[in-house]
A = this chain, B = another copy of it.
């Protein structure tokens, strides 16, 4: 199978297996993350009490750790859940939201990476650069990136960490350290709704939970979001300025996404 056949197979696996995806995530976008997991065909589980996270992750199929509104209590829960997931070979995705913004976030991610093995780390260019130890402005914002730099950072870091690195932005890069793919789907409105990054991580978690390979999980999660963003703009009532409606159509498009949408629209190349 080529890469897109793998992705489409992986998508079908989600619908068939309906995996449970345990999230310890932020309270800003959590509702959208839960709905996007349902939309793609998996089951969301949210729990962050340290006394239950090891039990909870043990009956789930994937773990999403997102530091968006992380605090000391939930950081401890993330470590607890992550360690148990590692013991049980349950795949984990890390979303290091705003890692460059504060020392607390930087050290939180440092600690998570010391204690836990991740299958995928997904962030924007600024966030992944901070993890790579590269110079990046410490803000929560997307920096202007160039695709070649993005691909190189992804590949180098993936090799170093032994996990999939996914850098999302205008063009996305996904690498396992050997192969690096550039993805060029999406729509500018995806940057005007909060949580499209978090939701992408939750979609990747859904792919992982269905037993798919981490590389195709990352590509699949990103493509479902970015292609759904394109499909959302094709609906009759679409109006670029109508951001509230766009968010609704985006969720509609994710729930309705089919292999043929991906096959027809995907713009992928190997770097």
User: Could you tell me the distance in whole angstroms from the C-beta of A239 to the nearest C-beta in chain B?
Assistant: 8
How does the 8 Å CB contact mask read for A48-65 relative to B, with 1 for contact and 0 for none?
110110011001000000
A38-B244 CB under 8 A given contacts A30-B27, A52-B102, A69-B47: no
Chain B residues positioned under 8 Å from A252 (CB to CB): 239, 241-245
CB of A111 closer than 8 Å to a CB of B: no
Binds B, one of A88-96, A180-188, A192-200, A212-220: A192-200
Chain B residues positioned under 8 Å from A136 (CB to CB): none
Complex Cα distance, B161 from A136, in Å, reads: 41
CB of A35 closer than 8 Å to a CB of B: yes
B141 to A43, Cβ gap below 8 A? Answer: yes
B39 to A243, Cβ gap below 8 A? Answer: yes
CB of A139 closer than 8 Å to a CB of B: yes
Chain B residues positioned under 8 Å from A193 (CB to CB): 35, 38
A244 to B244, Cβ gap below 8 A? Answer: no
Complex Cα distance, B173 from A110, in Å, reads: 49
Chain B residues positioned under 8 Å from A241 (CB to CB): 252, 255-256
**Interface size grouping (class) on chain A:** 35 or more
B31 to A48, Cβ gap below 8 A? Answer: no
Chain B residues positioned under 8 Å from A98 (CB to CB): 45, 47
A31-B32 CB under 8 A given contacts A241-B256, A256-B241: yes
A31 to B29, Cβ gap below 8 A? Answer: yes
Known contacts A29-B34, A38-B194, A247-B251; 20 additional CB pairs below 8 A are: A27-B30, A27-B46, A28-B34, A28-B44, A31-B194, A35-B247, A38-B243, A45-B98, A47-B69, A47-B101, A49-B72, A51-B72, A52-B103, A55-B103, A59-B138, A242-B256, A243-B252, A244-B247, A245-B248, A245-B252
Query: Contact residues of A with B, CB < 8 Å?
Result: 20, 26-32, 34-35, 38-39, 43-49, 51-52, 55-56, 59, 68-73, 98, 101-105, 138-141, 192-195, 239, 241-245, 247-252, 254-256
List 27 interface pairs A-B (beta carbons < 8 Å), by A numbering.
A27-B30, A28-B30, A29-B31, A31-B31, A31-B32, A35-B194, A35-B243, A35-B247, A38-B243, A43-B140, A44-B194, A47-B69, A47-B98, A49-B69, A49-B104, A51-B104, A55-B102, A55-B103, A71-B73, A192-B255, A242-B255, A244-B247, A244-B252, A244-B255, A245-B249, A245-B252, A247-B248
